[in-house]
Amino acid sequence: MSYQIRVMGDPVLRQEAKSIDDIDGRIVQMVDDMVPAMYQAEGIGLAAPQVGIQKRLFVYDIGEGPQTLVNPEIIEANGEWAFEEGCLSVPGLSFEIIRPKEVHLVGRDLEGNEVSIEADELLARLFQHELDHLDGVLLLDHLEREERKVALRRWREIQSAIAGGSNTPGDLALP
């Protein structure tokens, strides 16, 4: 199966993903299908909600081959690091986002083994970004109100150009 990456406006991106109780063949197959979707989109990470699946899982590859984290959780975060961040679900836009520089993440691999990773800079940011997706949080939620208004206007322009005039409702309303 080939997955379509969902973009901002799709309600699935705003829902909290559910924990995975059993890492079975369906979960392994889902990961096997997500990895090529991530590579095709030229991303370094892809969370299950981004392909319409409400499960707490993401795949990633920062140059060491594809990895999977099931039920990931950050148990510690330190420091601060500003970095230009983009998102496969918000194509065409990127923003300087400040996040913790270092994180300690725990979860499980596809074999069900416990995983504990201390990460910094890019990998720490990737983990935080993908965990945001599992919690229904998008990149624009990290922006100040005025910056977000500008970003939403730009998003509508991009989507209008792509769709030939139609806008994507849903996420575009400001709180």
| 15-53 residue pLDDT tens | 999 999 999 999 999 999 999 999 999 999 999 999 999
DSSP 166: -
Residue 103 lies in a domain: yes
Residue 71 three-state SS: strand
For residue 31, how many other CB atoms are within 10 A of its CB?
20
Residue 13 three-state SS: helix
- H-type helices in 14-58, by residue range? 25-40
Tokens in use for 155?
A: 């998003």
Residue 1 lies in a domain: no
Residue 170 lies in a domain: no
Residue 34 lies in a domain: yes
Tokens in use for 54?
A: 């409400």
Residue 142 three-state SS: helix
Residues annotated as part of the active site: 130
Residue 168 lies in a domain: no
Tokens in use for 173?
A: 């309303």
Residue 132 lies in a domain: yes
Structural domain for 74, as ranges: 11-163
Q: How many domains does the chain have?
A: 1
Residue 109 lies in a domain: yes
Is 80 exceeded by the pLDDT of residue 175? no
What's the CA gap between 65 and 117, in Å, rounded? 16
Residue 5 three-state SS: coil
CATH number at residue 59: 3.90.45.10
| 87-128 residue pLDDT tens | 999 999 999 999 999 999 999 999 999 999 999 999 999 999
Residue 27 lies in a domain: yes
